[in-house]
Amino acid sequence: MMWPMPWLSPGVVYQASCYDKVMLALKIAVIAAEMSPYAKVGGLADVAYALPKHLKLLGHDVVAVIPYYKFMDLQNLAKELVGQQDVEFAGRTYHVKFLRTHLPAPQPVPVYFIYQEELFSGRNKVYGHSHDSLRFAFFDWCVFLLFEAIGWAPDVLHCHDAQTGLIPNYLRHVFAKKPFWQKTVTLFTIHNLLYQLVEGMWYQVPPEKRDRGHNTPPDDPAKLRTMNFTLRAIRNADLINTVSERYAQEILTKKFGEGLDGYLLRRRDRVFGIINGIDYSVFNPSLDHHLSIHYDWNSLDKKLVNKNALQNSLGLPSNRDVPLIGMAHRLTEQKGFDLILHILPALLRQPVQLVIVGGGDREYLRQFRQVAKRHPDQVAVHLEFSEPMASRIYAGSDMFLMPSRFEPCGISQLISLRYGSVPIVHKTGGLADTIVDFNPRTGVGTGFVFQTYDPDDFLVALVRAIETYKYPRVWEHLTWQAMRKSFSWELPTRKYVELYQRAIRLRHAVG
C-alpha cells in the first residue's frame, strides 16, 4: 500500500528540527474514558496519561478530559469546581459539574472531570452498564459545554476510542455552526476496532437496525443503543489514526476491519498509524519499587535475583537453568489464550515454568487454575491483575508470551523488552512493528515471532526460544539487545503534533 505521508511510513526515522521549537503552540484537548492514574482498565489509560504530558513538554497548551467515577473519591484528589449547569439531554435534565485537577509536576497538565452523579460519579465500573451509550453520548456532549463554560476554544479535540466517538459527529453537525468552535479540528484514535458500540458488539445488531452514521446522533436513549460510535467518528473526524503502522493497514481489510473496513477504505487518505510509546519513568527496572533489586542492561546478574524471588514467592522450585515464561494480560480471546491452552500439554513436557497474572474471562480463569493445580512445580497463577505482581513477572521472567490474535499496538511487549523478558509474539499489528525475530546466525533480533495464528507455529517459536535459552551467552546477548531498544514517547508525540497540524491545514484548505 502507498503511504499517504512518507514520514509516517515504516522504517523512516523522524528527524527533530528547529521547527519543533518555532511552531505555534496548539491548544489540544485529549479526551478518553480512562486515564492513569485516575482510572485504568487497559492500555488506553497509559496512552491518555503519557501523551498529554509529552505534548506539554513540547510546549503545547494541553488539557485532558475524562469522566469522574465513584472510585476516584478514594484518591484524595485536590480538585476545584470550575463550573456547573443543568443539561437537557435525551429527554431529561441532568445536573453536571466540571472539576479540575492537575497531573503532578513537572508537567502539571490540567485534567478536567465531567461529574454527573447518576451516569458516572455514583458508579464504580468504567464500562459494562446497561446504558453505556447514553452515558458516553452524554459525556461527549458535555465536553463541548465544558470548554464553552471555561472559555477555552481548543484547536484540536483528540478523541480516543469508541466512547468519545460522537465528539467529531457533534462538532461537525451541531457545534461547528458556533463561532467558538469554528477553528477546532478532530483526530480520532482507534485503540481497538473490535469495540465500536459502547453497549455490546456491532455484529450482534441486526442489519436492519444498524446505524449508518448519518447526520446528528439521535436524542433518544433507546435509539442511542444501536449507535456505532466508532463508525460516526470515522465518518466525521478530520483525521483518523490507530496505534501502530501495521494495524493501520490491517483495519483496511475484511479480516481486521470488524465490519468497518469499507468506511475506512473510503477515507484511507485520512488513516494513519502511530506506534505508542511507553513511559520509561514508570516502566523501568532501574526505578521500579516493586522489585527485589533494581537492574539495567549492564547488571543482568541482578535480574536473576528477581527471578529467584519470584520463584520463591510463588512456590516454584528455585532453579536458574529452567526458563521462566511470564504473562501479564487480561485473559481474553484477543490475547491468544486459546492458543496457549492448546499448546500447554506440549509446552509443559519441556523443562519450563509458567507464571500468569491477570483477571478476565471466567472460563479461562477456571482452566488456568486447574492447570496450576495439576502442575504446581511448573505453573503459578495470580488471577487478578496487580501492578506489583506484573512488575515482578516482567523482571523475574526470561520470556514473555504475547500470542495475540490481533493487537493494535500492545504495551506489554514493550515493557517486557525493557525488563529483559524476551517476547514471543504473533506477527500482527503493533507486535509485528515492534519485535524483530531473533536470528541466531547473525545475532540480530529482540524476540521470537511466529507468522500464522496457529498452535503449531506458536509452539515452534516457543521451542526456538527454549533451545536458544540453553546457550547462556547467546541468551544474554539477546536479552541485552532487547533491553536497549527504546520506544519512548518522544517520537510518537511529534508525529501526533504533525497529524494535528495536517488536520488544521486540511480544514483551512477546505474552507
Q: Whose grid coordinates read 485537577?
A: 101
> Is residue 54 close enough to count as binding ligand GLC by CB under 6 A?
no
Closer to ligand GLC at the Cβ: 54 or 191?
191
DSSP code for 39:
B
Q: Which residue has the cell 483528540?
A: 158
**Rounded Cα distance, 251 and 233, in Å:** 15
Nearest in space to 110 (alpha carbons), one of 120, 100, 118, 123:
100
- Of these, 54, 60, 79, 191, which contacts ligand GLC (CB under 6 A)? 191
How many Å separate Cα 147 from the centre of its chain? 26
Distance, CA of 328 to CA of 142 (rounded, Å): 35
CB closer to ligand GLC out of 44 and 357: 44
Cell digits for 446?
Answer: 529482540
Write out the three cell numbers for 274: 502511530
CA atoms within 13 A on the CB side of 95: 2
Nearest residue to ligand GLC, scored by beta-carbon proximity: 43
Does the protein bind ligand GLC through residue 417 (CB under 6 A)?
no
Q: Which of 39-47, 105-113, 253-261, 448-456 is the region at the interface with ligand GLC (rule: CB under 6 A)?
A: 39-47
407 part of the interface to ligand GLC, by CB under 6 A: yes
Under rule CB under 6 A, residue 31 binds ligand GLC: no
**Other C-beta atoms lying within 10 Å of the C-beta of residue 330:** 15
Residue 64 contacts residue 52 (beta carbons within 8 Å): yes
Strands (E), 103-143: 110-115
Among 50, 328, 411, 465, binds ligand GLC (CB under 6 A): 411
Nearest distance from C-beta of residue 323 to ligand GLC, angstroms: 26
Told to check if 273 binds ligand GLC by CB under 6 A, we report no
* Shorter beta-carbon distance to ligand GLC: residue 412 or 481: 412
Could you tell me which residues come within 8 angstroms of residue 368 by beta carbon, excluding any fewer than 6 positions away?
331, 356, 379, 381, 383
Query: Taking the complex as a whole, how short is the minimal distance between the CB of residue 160 and ligand GLC, in angstroms?
Result: 8
Is position 245 an interface residue for ligand GLC (rule: CB under 6 A)? no
**CB of residue 423 to ligand GLC, shortest distance in Å:** 14
With CB under 6 A as the contact rule, the residue among 66, 99, 114, 243 that binds ligand GLC is 243
Cα(28)–Cα(22) distance, rounded to whole angstroms? 17
The answer to whether 277 contacts ligand GLC (rule: CB under 6 A) is no
All three cell numbers of 396, joined, read: 523475574
CA dihedral in degrees (253, 408, 102, 85; nearest 10)? 40
Of 191 and 302, CB closest to ligand GLC: 191
Whole-angstrom Cα Rg for the chain: 23
* Residue 423 touches ligand GLC, criterion: CB under 6 A: no
Element (H, E) at 84: strand 80-89
Nearer to ligand GLC, 323 or 336 (CB): 336
Taking the least distance from each CB to ligand GLC, the nearer of 239 and 310 is 239
- Region of 8-16, 304-312, 407-415, 456-464 interacting with ligand GLC (CB under 6 A): 407-415
Q: Tell me whether residue 316 or residue 414 sits nearer to ligand GLC (CB atom).
A: 414
Stretch that binds ligand GLC, among 104-112, 340-348, 402-410, 454-462 (CB under 6 A): 402-410
Question: Residues in contact with ligand GLC, total (CB under 6 A)?
Answer: 14
Closest to 502 measured CA to CA, from 2, 12, 4: 4
Q: What are the DSSP E strand ranges found in 324-396?
A: 324-328, 353-357, 379-382
CB atoms within 10 A of CB 166: 28
CB of 47 to ligand GLC, least distance (A): 5
Please say which residue, 202 or 475, places its beta carbon nearer to ligand GLC: 202
Residue where the block lists cell 527485589 = 292
Closer by beta carbon to ligand GLC, 270 or else 335: 335
Q: Among residues 29, 30, 42, 69, which is the contact residue for ligand GLC, using CB under 6 A?
A: 42
Under DSSP, the state recorded for 14 is P
Report how far residue 439's alpha carbon sits from residue 36's, in angstroms, rounded to the nearest whole number.
Answer: 37
Write out the binding residues for ligand GLC, residues 364-393 only, by CB under 6 A.
none
Question: Does the N-terminal peptide bond of residue 388 adopt cis geometry, omega within 30 degrees of 0?
Answer: no
Contact status: 52 vs ligand GLC (CB under 6 A)? no
Shortest CB 440 distance to ligand GLC, Å: 29
Distance, in Å, from the CA atom of 100 to the CA atom of 82, rounded to the nearest integer, reads 7
Q: Which 73-102 residues touch ligand GLC, going by CB under 6 A? A: none
Q: Does 495 bind ligand GLC (CB under 6 A)?
A: no
Which of 168, 410, 420, 423 is close enough to bind ligand GLC by CB under 6 A?
Answer: 410
In whole angstroms, the minimum distance from the beta carbon of 86 to ligand GLC comes to 35
Stretch that binds ligand GLC, among 77-85, 106-114, 313-321, 404-412 (CB under 6 A): 404-412
End-to-end Cα, the chain, rounded Å: 29
Q: Is 66 helix (H, G, I), strand (E, B) or coil?
A: strand
Q: Which residues bind ligand GLC (CB under 6 A)?
A: 42-44, 47, 191-192, 243, 276, 407-411, 430
